[in-house]
Amino acid sequence: MSPQTLAQPAASPAAAPTTSITGAVATLQALVAEGVDTIFGYPGGAIIPIYDALYDFKEQLNHVLVRHEQGGIHAAQGYARSSGRVGVALATSGPGATNLVTGLADALIDSTPLVCITGQVFAHLLGTDAFQETDIINITTPVTKWNYQVTRAEEIPEALAKAFYIARSGRPGPVLVDITKNAQMQTFDAPAYEPCTHIRSYRPAPVVRNEYIEQAAALINGAKRPFILWGQGVVLGQAEREFQAFVEKSGIPAAWTILGVGALATAHPLNVGMLGMHGNYGPNVLTNECDVLIAIGMRFDDRVTGRLDKYAKQAQVVHLDIDPTEIDKNVKTTVPVWGDCKETLPLLTALVERKEHAAWLARFNDHMAQEVDAVIREELFPTSEELTMGEVIQQLNEITGGEAVIVSDVGQHQMVACRYALQNQSRSHVTSGGLGTMGFALPAAIGAKFGAPHRPVVAVIGDGGVQMTIQELGTIMQTGVDVKIIILNNQFLGMVRQWQELFHQRRYSFVDIQSPDFVAVAAGYRIAGQRVDARDALRPALEKMLAHPGSFLLEVMVTKENNIFPMVPQGCSVAEIRLR
Amino acid sequence: MSPEPADRQEYNITAYTENQVGLLNRIAIIFSRRKINIESLNVSPSEIEGIHRFNIVIVETEEVVEKLAKQIEKQVEVLKVYYNTNADVIWQEMALYKVPTDVIAEKVLVERLLRENGARAVVIRKDYTVFETTGHREETDNLIKALQPYGLIEFVRSARIAIIKASDGFHHKLKEFERREPSEDVAENEFLNDREQVFTM
């Protein structure tokens, strides 16, 4: 070895080349490296350095300027739900950050992968009640899967790599990374970005245990009246094909939670409809008659189960879920199949016998026939003079053929949209399921369109909910994003009014809500619109809306005091579902 | 009000975790969200540098405790969670008692009291003496009652720490875990004392 080589220490092979950049640039480089193309945000003092860096990232990152941070995070949720990718929202410290809280809670309960980045005051000011300082880490701890505060620029690449990994792996969920302003401004020698693939204390993908697969298959093969309930886990696991194969081979009737809708096409012969409080008649009644209940990627929410002590007590329960905390949480499981359903479903399909359960399936169809007579026919093809919410969805189905992405808000119109919208494919219905966030749909529809730019996106919103985030019409105006908006206006906060009618002696307490002239409001935002209050104008208006180049707001005046049926009244068992 | 479920009892929850800022809150809110009171909480480094151990005592039914344990283990930075009844653990609390030295010196009775309660003098000064005992709650309580008439000045009790009876292999597994993937350093805010040197607007 020559003296020269001895004098120069050999470069460690592990040491990657570094470049000197600011924390703000490192933040945006991380987003680009994670494959992010669209971010939803709103600038402010504590996040100015990141916005300054964004000026040079316009080619790589499409930043959508929203009108309120809540709109930003709901848009990120809509993006994530329609695209299957991680949604990203940006907000400043203090009020900017606290405005994210509703969206975080919504995303956590609906398992939506999000990375939220908030600016924070300088690290040395933490705890001093500085201008726009709020303790967003502690505020968001109950509503995030994980959160982290960065106080030095060097922490940024690893914190964001972890954030993306945690958000999308296992049971997905929202994470928040809070970055102090000094960390955004500091320069540091940044190594090449490395995505995170492993955290030692975190087990996103449980090991599948074959004995449970075998026990589950044995139960299913011996069942006379098996029944499948599926939820969003099938969608989040990207296991739609594996799920369909399981359903078709086993021949078992399958019903969905509102977040699972579309994982199996609504028109599939084994899709027997929607579960829950306003779900279909058969799936609710027959839950208490099946002998084996197979729950896949669903969490037995109280709106699905009704009264738990009278829920499927006769059935043996097989529960497939990636999240071990869901097993036995609400319903006692006979066989737990803990794992990613993309992995467990094919194993189960291989062991189940090919069967048809014709007589059992016929019972679902009989119940559906009763429901059509009692509820559905009049809702979709009304003989009354006034328009119904259902006929709007029915007409929409006929025009779109079930190809549109529907984004619904919360309340009566949501139940109608979930019950009646045709869905040919997965990721076609974005709605706030667990949290029930009014005001979700308008911003979520904006995000859904960015996430699925080649599909028509139709937001279906009530007159109450739309007024909660109506400022996002400004986002639509400025970005030119093509979102069709249907307001089903019954001049009431309809779902609460329904409860007051049925359970509180028609004491209509503050549900009589007035609305502005929505078409005029849209016009103020230079969005085309129309108002319809007669049946013969509905179809042409829907056709005009869908054919319109760009956004369109269609306000449909519907009958004021319609109730959503069937209904499982609170405190009743699913078998006590009322048709009227 | 429904009657108190008969099977509510003290449970000892043991959690091995990363040493990270904010994790204490993430674990604490799992209890407070359900309006469950934490009776005792001890958080300290385990025998392995970088891995912390929580000992949490609550009164609940096993069904609830099992769900809580799962929820804790679900947190990204939690390694492993166990729950045990009092019968399944050996536990101790430590207590310190500060009393005036002149009283101790003069009253023979006190000396016997301390002897009977297994107390040990940690510090003896002219003005005061600090005794220490370890034991179950009733034991440390007994000495408070006994010392009160003799001018007890200050008292402090630690949280409960508990050793699980059926814990074969714990230490070995922990060591192996740390050996395979060493823990990361805890990142703290290093700027809190730099106020004068930083441009703040």
Task: Report how far Cα A425 is from the mean position of its chain's Cα atoms.
Answer: 15
Interface test mutation site (partner A, options B35, B48, B74, max chain A beta carbons within 10 A): B74
CA distance B198 to A262: 55
As to burial, measured by CB atoms within 10 angstroms (0-12 exposed, 13-18 middle, 19+ buried), residue A327 is buried
B4 in any annotated domain: no
Are B94 and B120 in a shared domain? yes
Kindly state whether B69 is in contact with chain A, defined as any CB-CB distance less than 8 angstroms: no
Q: Which two tokens stand for residue A165?
A: 């990994």
Residue B107's domain comprises 90-157
Residue B3 pLDDT greater than 70, yes or no:
no
B164 in any annotated domain: no
Rg of the Cα trace of chain B?
22
Query: Which of A6-15, B86-95, B106-115 is the most confident on average?
Result: B86-95
Kindly state whether B153 is in contact with chain A, defined as any CB-CB distance less than 8 angstroms: no
Kindly state whether B175 is in contact with chain A, defined as any CB-CB distance less than 8 angstroms: no
Are B131 and B148 in a shared domain? yes
Are B113 and B142 in a shared domain? yes
Our answer to whether residue A438 is catalytic in this structure is no
Of A190-204, B42-56, B105-119, B137-151, the range with the lowest mean pLDDT is B105-119
As to burial, measured by CB atoms within 10 angstroms (0-12 exposed, 13-18 middle, 19+ buried), residue B150 is middle
Residue B200 pLDDT greater than 90, yes or no:
no
pLDDT at B110: 78
The per-residue pLDDT for range A295-309, each reduced to its tens digit, is 999 999 999 999 999
CA distance A313 to A277: 18
CA distance A278 to A562: 14
Map out the domains of chain A with their CATH numbers. Answer: 18-191 (3.40.50.970), 210-363 (3.40.50.1220), 385-558 (3.40.50.970)
B107 in any annotated domain: yes
Task: Find chain A residues with C-beta within 8 A of B187's C-beta.
Answer: 151-152, 155
B66 in any annotated domain: yes
Are B82 and B108 in a shared domain? no
Residue A270 pLDDT greater than 80, yes or no:
yes
Are B32 and B83 in a shared domain? yes
pLDDT at A6: 40
Are B133 and B96 in a shared domain? yes
User: What is the pLDDT of chain A when averaged over all its residues?
Assistant: 96
> A307 near A239, Cβ under 8 Å?
no
- Stretch B94-121: mean pLDDT: 88
Are B83 and B27 in a shared domain? yes
DSSP string, B14-51: EEEEE--TTHHHHHHHHHHTTT---SEEEEEE-SSTTE
The per-residue pLDDT for range A382-438, each reduced to its tens digit, is 999 999 999 999 999 999 999 999 999 999 999 999 999 999 999 999 999 999 999
pLDDT at B113: 83
Residue A555 pLDDT greater than 70, yes or no:
yes
Task: Find chain A residues with C-beta within 8 A of B26's C-beta.
Answer: 141
Q: Which two tokens stand for residue A503?
A: 């359970």
Q: Which two tokens stand for residue B48?
A: 């392995």
Are B66 and B96 in a shared domain? no
CA-closest candidate to residue A267, choices A370, A380, A402, A375: A402
pLDDT at A340: 96
Instruction: Examine the fold and report which residue of B87, B112, B136 is the final residue of a domain before the chain moves on.
Output: B87
CA distance A565 to A394: 16
Q: Which two tokens stand for residue A104?
A: 């975080």
> A144 near A175, Cβ under 8 Å?
yes
User: Which ipTM value was assigned to this complex?
Assistant: 0.92
Nearest by CB: B76 against A127, A152, A202: A202
Instruction: Examine the fold and report which residue of B44, B72, B87 is the final residue of a domain before the chain moves on.
Output: B87
B162 in any annotated domain: no
B196 in any annotated domain: no
Give the CA distances from residue A244 to residues A268, A270, A304, A476, in Å, rounded to whole numbers and listed in that order. Answer: 10, 10, 22, 37
Of A9-23, A43-57, A186-200, A505-519, the range with the lowest mean pLDDT is A9-23
Q: How many domains does chain B have?
A: 2
Instruction: Examine the fold and report which residue of B54, B87, B120 is the final residue of a domain before the chain moves on.
Output: B87
Q: Among A277, A389, A468, A495, which one carries the catalytic annotation?
A: A495
pLDDT at A146: 98
Interface test mutation site (partner A, options B29, B76, B175, max chain A beta carbons within 10 A): B76
Q: Across the A/B interface, how many CB contacts are shorter than 8 Å?
A: 69
Are B19 and B79 in a shared domain? yes
B185 in any annotated domain: no
Give the number of other CB atoms < 10 A from CB of residue A480: 9
- Stretch A365-392: mean pLDDT: 97
The per-residue pLDDT for range A89-130, each reduced to its tens digit, is 999 999 999 999 999 999 999 999 999 999 999 999 999 999
Q: Among A29, A34, A69, A468, which one carries the catalytic annotation?
A: A69
Residue A15 pLDDT greater than 80, yes or no:
no
B130 in any annotated domain: yes
pLDDT at A19: 86
Are B19 and B75 in a shared domain? yes
Our answer to whether residue A440 is catalytic in this structure is no
Kindly state whether A155 is in contact with chain B, defined as any CB-CB distance less than 8 angstroms: yes
Nearest chain A CA: its distance from B10 CA (Å): 21
- Stretch A148-164: mean pLDDT: 98
pLDDT at A261: 96
pLDDT at B4: 65
Q: Nearest-5° angle of CA A568, CA A264, CA A294?
A: 60
pLDDT band at B2 (very low <50, low <70, confident <90, very high): low
CA distance A395 to A402: 11
In the three-class reduction of DSSP (H, G, I as helix; E, B as strand; rest coil), residue A166 is classed as: helix
Bigger pLDDT: B185 or A549? A549
Task: Find chain A residues with C-beta within 8 A of B25's C-beta.
Answer: 138, 141
Kindly state whether A503 is in contact with chain B, defined as any CB-CB distance less than 8 angstroms: no
pLDDT at A290: 98
CA distance B70 to A327: 10
CATH of the domain at B73: 3.30.70.260
The per-residue pLDDT for range B74-86, each reduced to its tens digit, is 999 999 999 999 9
- Stretch A477-497: mean pLDDT: 98
CA distance A27 to A148: 14
> A50 near A28, Cβ under 8 Å?
yes
Are B69 and B114 in a shared domain? no
Phi (first) and psi of residue B16, to 5 degrees: -95, 130
CATH of the domain at B119: 3.30.70.1150
Our answer to whether residue A155 is catalytic in this structure is no
Which residues in A345-378 are b (16+ Cβ under 10 Å) and which e?
A: bbbbbeebeeeebeebbebbeebbeebeeebbeb
CB–CB of B192 and A126 under 8 A? Answer: yes
Are B94 and B83 in a shared domain? no
CA-closest candidate to residue A149, choices A117, A104, A193: A117
Reported pTM: 0.95
